[in-house]
Structure 1
Amino acid sequence: MNKRIGMYSAIVTLIGVVGFAVSMLLGSDAGGYLFSLFISWGFVPMICSFSAITTKENKASAYTAIAFSSVYAVLVGLVYFAQLTTIRLTKLNEQALAILNYKNLGSLFFNYDLFGYAFMALSTFFIAFSIEAKNKKDKCLKILLLVHGVFAVSCVVMPILGVFNGGTESGNTSGVIALEFWCAYFIPICILSYQYFKKKEKR
C-alpha cells in the first residue's frame, strides 16, 4: 500500500506541475493557484511514501523531510486558498491587497509563498538520503532531489534582501520564466519517483 500511495501521489504531483506550467502560459491565475494546491496535496504523501519504504538507518532524514513538507503544504495552502477565495471574490482596499495579493511582488503572501517553497526544497534535500540508488534512474532521482534543495537558500535570502520589492512588468515576466524552469526541473522528479515506487511495488 505504501508503494501504491507513492505511485499515485507522484502522478498527482506531476499533474499539478504540468497544470501549473500550462496555466502560467495561458495567463490563468486561478488555474495556477488551483494546480499549486494539487502539487502540495501530491507532494506530502509522496514524501511520506519515500519515508515508509526506506531503511531504518535513513529514517531520521526521512522524518525530517516529512516535517518540512508539511510546513510547505500549510504555507502555500494558505496563500493559494486565499487567492482563490478572499482575493478573487471579495473587494478589498489597496492596503489589504498590498499585503494579501500574491501577484504583488514582495507582498506578505508572496514572501510566505517563497518561504513555503524553501521548506519544499529542504524536504527534497533530506528525502534524497532515503533513496536507494541501485541504477541510473535512481541515481538521477537522488541527484535531482539533492540539487533541488539548493533552491531553499534563494527562497529565503531573496525576500530578506528585498529583491522583489517594487516589482515591474519585466520582473513579472522573469518570474514566469523562472517558474517555468522550475516546472521543467520538477517534472522529471515526479516521473522518476513514480518509476521508483513502481519498481519497489514489483518486488
Structure 2
Amino acid sequence: MKPRISPSVRSLGYWSAIFSSVFSIAYIIAQLMEWMGLLGSQGGPEGMSTPMGLVWLLTPSLLLGVSFVILMVSIHYCASENDKIWSHLGLTFATAYAVLIGIVYFVQLTLVVPRLMSGDTQDIQLLIFTPFDSFLYAVDILGYSFMSLATLFASRVFTGEGLGKKVRWFLTANGVLIPFLVFQMYYHPLIFIASLWAITFPGSTISLAILFRRQKTVSPERI
C-alpha cells in the first residue's frame, strides 16, 4: 500500500468503508430478526420472507453493492504499482458482484414485493426469492462468491504488521468463505459457516475505515 495517497482517495475510501460497514450491519440485524421470525416469516434460514422482510433485508444489501465498489476503487488507488494487479482483480470481481446482486435486489424490491403484497404472483414464479430453491437465490449466491473473491485478491495489497495485518486477515477470512457460499445450494447447513460473513465482512470494512482515516495524504501541489 502506498505510504501517501491523494486527499480524494482517502476521503472516498474512508466514507465508502463507513457506509459498507453500516449497510452490512443493518443487513445482519435484519437477517437475525428474519431467522428469529420477527419479520413475519416462519423463521430459520429456509423460511420464505414476507414482503416486509424482503424490504428490510434487501434495501441495505442493494446499497452495500454500491458502497463496496467505491471502496474497492479506493483500495486500487492506494495500491503500490507492484500490487495493482491484485487490487484490479478485486475491483473486477466487486463490479461483477454489484451487478448480479443489484439485479436480484432491484427486481425483488420493485417488481416482486409489490406483486406479493397484491397477491398477484402467477406470472412471476421464476422470480420468487426462495432460499436454496430458486433462480434468483442462485444468482445471489454467485454474487456473494464474487464478493469473497474480490476481498481475497484485495487482501494482497496490505502488507506489514499492525492495522495492515488486521485488514489483510479480515479480507482473507472473508475470501475463504467461497466454498461454503457456493455449496450451500447442495448442502444447506453450510449456510451457518457462510454466516461467518457477519464477522469477516464488517471486520474488513471497519478496519479499512480506520486505515483510511489514519492514512497520510500527498499535498495537492505534489499530485
> Does the Cα contact within 8 Å between 2:177 and 2:197 map onto a contact in 1?
no
Larger radius of gyration: 2
Higher helix share: 1
Match of 1:123 in 2: 150
Unpaired stretches in structure 2, ≥5 consecutive residues: 1-7, 34-38, 40-52, 219-223
Aligned pairs, how many?
A: 189
Identity within the alignment, % = 22
Return the TM-score normalized by structure 1.
0.84
> Does the Cα contact within 8 Å between 2:180 and 2:193 map onto a contact in 1?
no
Match of 2:199 in 1: 184
Provide the rounded CA distance (Å) in 2 between the counterparts of 1:74 and 1:107.
Answer: 18
1:76 aligns with 2:104: no
Match of 1:22 in 2: 29
Unpaired stretches in structure 1, ≥5 consecutive residues: 165-170
1:44 aligns with 2:77: no
**C-alpha deviation, 1:88, in angstroms:** 0.5
1:87 aligns with 2:112: yes
Match of 1:67 in 2: 92
Match of 1:167 in 2: none
1:13 aligns with 2:20: yes
Match of 1:168 in 2: none
Return the TM-score normalized by structure 2.
0.77
SS class of match (1:132)? coil
1:195 aligns with 2:199: no
Quick check: 68-77 or 147-156, which moved more?
147-156
> Does the Cα contact within 8 Å between 1:58 and 1:130 map onto a contact in 2?
yes
**C-alpha deviation, 1:156, in angstroms:** 2.9
Provide the rounded CA distance (Å) in 1 between the counterparts of 2:18 and 2:60.
Answer: 13
**C-alpha deviation, 1:140, in angstroms:** 1.4
